[in-house]
Amino acid sequence: VILNSPNNPTGAVVDPEELTRLLDWCDGRGVWLIYDETYDRFLYDGRLHASAAARLLAGERVVVTGAASKTYAMTGWRLGWALGPPALIRAMASYQSHTTSNASSISQAAALKALTALDSAAASVADMLAHYESRRHVIVEGLRAIRGVRCGMPEGAFYAFADVSELYGRKGVTGSAAFCDRLLSEAHVAAVPGDAFGDDACARFSFATDPARITEAVRRIAAWAVA
Ligand SMILES: Cc1ncc(COP(=O)(O)O)c(C=O)c1O
C-alpha cells in the first residue's frame, strides 16, 4: 500500500485512528505500507501529523519517506530519505547507487544543516506555514467564487485540487489536460491536470507562491472562464 499524507494533490490528511486501522490491516496480511510523509509539517487548523515511524520501529513492514524539498524549500536539490528495516534500506541503497548514483554532496550538506539546526529550521517552517495558511484561504475562496468551480478546503500540503469539469463544456474541452493547456496559453495560469492524479474532473493549483500572484491568477481564471 502506498499512502501520502498530507496529500498531494488533494490536501487530505489521514487521521491517527485511520492510520492505525490501515497499519493493522497491512500487518495482519503481511502487506508493506510505504508512507510518504513529505508534507508532515504542512498542516492547518491545528491538525497533527500521524506518523508511521513508531510502527516501523516496532518491526512492522513499513517504509517512511520524506524530502527536504518542501519543509526546507529545497525543491530541485534532489534530496529525500527513506526509513525502513535495515536489510531493505541496504538493498535500496545498492540499487540506487547503480542507477541514480548519489545525492550530491552539496545537497547533503545543506540538508544536514536544515535537519540539525532545529531551532532556526523550526522558526522558518512556522513562518512559512503562517503564510501558507492565509494563502490557502485566498486561493480556495477565489476559486469557489468562480461559477462552475468546486473546491474543498485542503487540510494540509499547499495545493487546491478543484473540480473544474463544469467549465469543460463552456470552454470546449474534453478533459483536464486540454483544460490546463488552454488555461496556460490563454490566461497564462499554470495548473496540473487532474488526470495525472487519477481524477480528470480536477486541476491542481499550487499556493506556494506570493499572495499577489495568487490573487492575479484567480482573477485571470475567473475572466477566462466566462470569456
Ligand atoms: C507526495 C510527494 N512526495 C515527495 C515529493 C518530493 O519530491 P522531490 O524531493 O523529488 O522534490 C513531492 C514533491 O512534489 C511530493 O508531492
What's the pLDDT tens digit per position in 154-203? 999 999 999 999 999 999 999 999 999 999 999 999 999 999 999 999 99
pTM of the shown model:
0.94
Ligand 1 pocket check: which of 70, 75, 107, 159 to mutate, most ligand atoms within 8 Å of Cβ?
Answer: 70
pLDDT-based confidence at residue 137 (cuts at 50, 70, 90):
very high
Q: Residue 121: pLDDT above 90?
A: no
Residue 91 backbone phi and psi in degrees, to 5: -65, -40
| pLDDT on residue 101 | 85
pLDDT-based confidence at residue 99 (cuts at 50, 70, 90):
very high
Q: Which atom of ligand 1 is nearest to the CA of 68?
A: 9
Q: What is the mean pLDDT of residues 61-75?
A: 95
Is the minimum distance from the CB of 206 to ligand 1 under 6 angstroms? no
Write the CA distances from 178 to 11, 159, 214, 227, integer angstroms: 23, 20, 22, 17
| pLDDT on residue 102 | 86
